[in-house]
C-alpha cells in the first residue's frame, strides 16, 4: 500500500469535537506528526488526540521555531517536509495533527506547500477541523456574525497596529492568540468605547476553559497562549 500524508485538524480542545473522518484516519495511521516549538508547554493537538483514540499511535515531533526570521522558518519547514516525505516514501500513512483547522493560521500550510513543490507525486489529503473562534462562539452561545454584519480575524502577534482601523471598519473582530498584547489591545478598546462588547476566552474546549467579560480585571496579568478575544460592536441588537 502506498504511503500518504494527511493534515488533520483536531478542533479547539474538546476531544468530542474531533470529526468522524479525522478519528477514522488517525485510528489507522502509522505515525502521527506533532508540531512543537520552544514556547509549547504541551502539544495541545496531541492532548486532544490521546483522549479521543482507542489506541496509541507512534508520535514524531517536528520542530518549528517561534521566530519571524524568514530564512530560519524556510529551513525548519524544509527539514520537517523532508522528514515527513521519508516516512511516506516508506509506505507509511502519516498524519500531521494541528489544533483547530489545518488551513487556518496553521504551520501545516507551509509543510504542505513544501511537499507539493518538492514531492508533487506524493498523495496528500487535508481534513478540516473546528476553528477556535467557532468553538468560542458556541461556548458563549453568541453568534460571531448576524445578518449583514462583517467580520475580521487578526493574529494579534502580527496585527495589533492594524487594530484601530479594523475596529472602525468591521462590525465584529476576532483577535487570535492575544495573550502577549492584551494590555495594548485593551487600551485600544477602551479608547474606542468597545471594551464592554468584548469577551476573552482562554483554552476553549479544555477542562480549564475560562471566560472573561470584565477585561479590565485582566490588565497586567499573564494570559494563556490559547487566548482569543471576540469583539462585537452591536452585540445583542434585535434583527
Among residues 59, 92, 127, the one where a domain terminates is 127
Q: Does 72 share its domain with 173?
A: no
**107-149: per-residue pLDDT in tens?**
999 999 999 999 999 999 999 999 999 999 999 999 999 999 9
Average pLDDT, the chain: 89
pTM, two decimals, is 0.88
> Quick one: 192 and 119 in the same domain?
no
List, for residues 13-25, the tens digit of each pLDDT value: 899 999 999 999 9
* SS3 per-residue string spanning 56-69: CCCEEEEECCCCCC
Looking at residue 186, which CATH number applies to its domain? Answer: 3.30.950.10
Continuous segment of H or E residues that includes residue 108: helix 108-118
Please indicate, yes or no, if residue 237 is contained in any of the structural domains.
no
- What pLDDT score does 66 carry? 74
Which of 127, 159, 194 is the endpoint of a domain?
Answer: 127
Q: Please, which pLDDT band fits residue 237 given cuts at 50, 70 and 90?
A: low
How much is the pLDDT for 225?
A: 86
Share of the chain above pLDDT 70, in %: 93
- With H, G, I as helix, E, B as strand and everything else as coil, classify residue 222: coil
Highest mean pLDDT among 53-62, 155-164, 229-238 belongs to 53-62
Within a domain: 238: no
Residue 218 burial (C-beta neighbours within 10 Å; 0-12, 13-18, 19+): middle
Residue 62 has pLDDT above 80, yes or no: yes
Specify if 216 maps to a domain: yes
CATH no. for residue 21? 3.40.1010.10
Amino acid at each position: 500500500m502506498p504511503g500518504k500524508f494527511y493534515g488533520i485538524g483536531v478542533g479547539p480542545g474538546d476531544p468530542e469535537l474531533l470529526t468522524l473522518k479525522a478519528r477514522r484516519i488517525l485510528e489507522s495511521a502509522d505515525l502521527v506528526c506533532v508540531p512543537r516549538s520552544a514556547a509549547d508547554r504541551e502539544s495541545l493537538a496531541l492532548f486532544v488526540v490521546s483522549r479521543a483514540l482507542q489506541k496509541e499511535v507512534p508520535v514524531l515531533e517536528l520542530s518549528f521555531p517561534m521566530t519571524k526570521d524568514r530564512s530560519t522558518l524556510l529551513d525548519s519547514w524544509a527539514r520537517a517536509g523532508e522528514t515527513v516525505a521519508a516516512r511516506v516514501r516508506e509506505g507509511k500513512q502519516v498524519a500531521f495533527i494541528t489544533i483547530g483547522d489545518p488551513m487556518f493560521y496553521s504551520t501545516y500550510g507551509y509543510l504542505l506547500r513544501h511537499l507539493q513543490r518538492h514531492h508533487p507525486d506524493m498523495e496528500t489529503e487535508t481534513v478540516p477541523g473546528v476553528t477556535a473562534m467557532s468553538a468560542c462562539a458556541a461556548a458563549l452561545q453568541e453568534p460571531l456574525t448576524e445578518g449583514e454584519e462583517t467580520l475580521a480575524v487578526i493574529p494579534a502577534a502580527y496585527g495589533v497596529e492594524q487594530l484601530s482601523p479594523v475596529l472602525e471598519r468591521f462590525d465584529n473582530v476576532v483577535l487570535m492568540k492575544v495573550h502577549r498584547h492584551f494590555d495594548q489591545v485593551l487600551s485600544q478598546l477602551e479608547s474606542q468605547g468597545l471594551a464592554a462588547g468584548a469577551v476573552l476566552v482562554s483554552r476553549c474546549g479544555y477542562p480549564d476553559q475560562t471566560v472573561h467579560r470584565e477585561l479590565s480585571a485582566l490588565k497586567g496579568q499573564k494570559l494563556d497562549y490559547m487566548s482569543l478575544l471576540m469583539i462585537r460592536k452591536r452585540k445583542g441588537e434585535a434583527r
